[in-house]
Structure 1
């Protein structure tokens, strides 16, 4: 059965995968770098889905870096003790 514990693991793994994305190696190659956001001449495209995803990835990488260390440590200890 798919319980809340598995849902927590899935969410944690997704946040971890977003947090470890390298902006120089991966995101810049596919055009999702924060430095490459180019709206064009006179175009206000700050509400596009792509720009929102770029901002979400940047926010997760900035804000969740330190808490993820603690959360991952707690999950590792939990798995080692209660397996």
Structure 2
């Protein structure tokens, strides 16, 4: 019943996959979290709110992690098929 490192890795992988597949047009824009709806001061310093930092994080994960996630998911699927 203990949470091991393998299960923690799976939880992190599922969480990042969930962020990566969020549709900006269908979901994020509907709740007001679209990257196109940024305020004028979005790029600068301490005036950023938590909401805009989360929007920036979601955008970065969707941009930077798309290709590595494909490879990581393939490796995990093959691992599960072989060693189950």
Q: TM-score with structure 1 length normalisation?
A: 0.90
**Who is 2:26 aligned against?**
25
Instruction: Tell me, in whole angstroms, the C-alpha distance in 2 between the residues paired with 1:21 and 1:63.
Output: 14
Instruction: Tell me, in whole angstroms, the C-alpha distance in 2 between the residues paired with 1:19 and 1:28.
Output: 15
Instruction: Tell me, in whole angstroms, the C-alpha distance in 1 between the residues paired with 2:3 and 2:62.
Output: 28
Shift of 1:82: 0.3
Q: TM-score with structure 2 length normalisation?
A: 0.89
Within 5 A, what are the aligned runs for 1:3-82?
A: 3-38=4-39, 46-82=47-83
Shift of 1:38: 2.8
Q: Which runs of 5+ in 1 are unaligned?
A: none
Q: 1:45 to 1:33 in 2, by over 3 A?
A: farther
Instruction: Tell me, in whole angstroms, the C-alpha distance in 2 between the residues paired with 1:46 and 1:29.
Output: 24
Q: 1:58 to 1:24 in 2, by over 3 A?
A: same
Aligned length: 80
Q: Which runs of 5+ in 2 are unaligned?
A: none
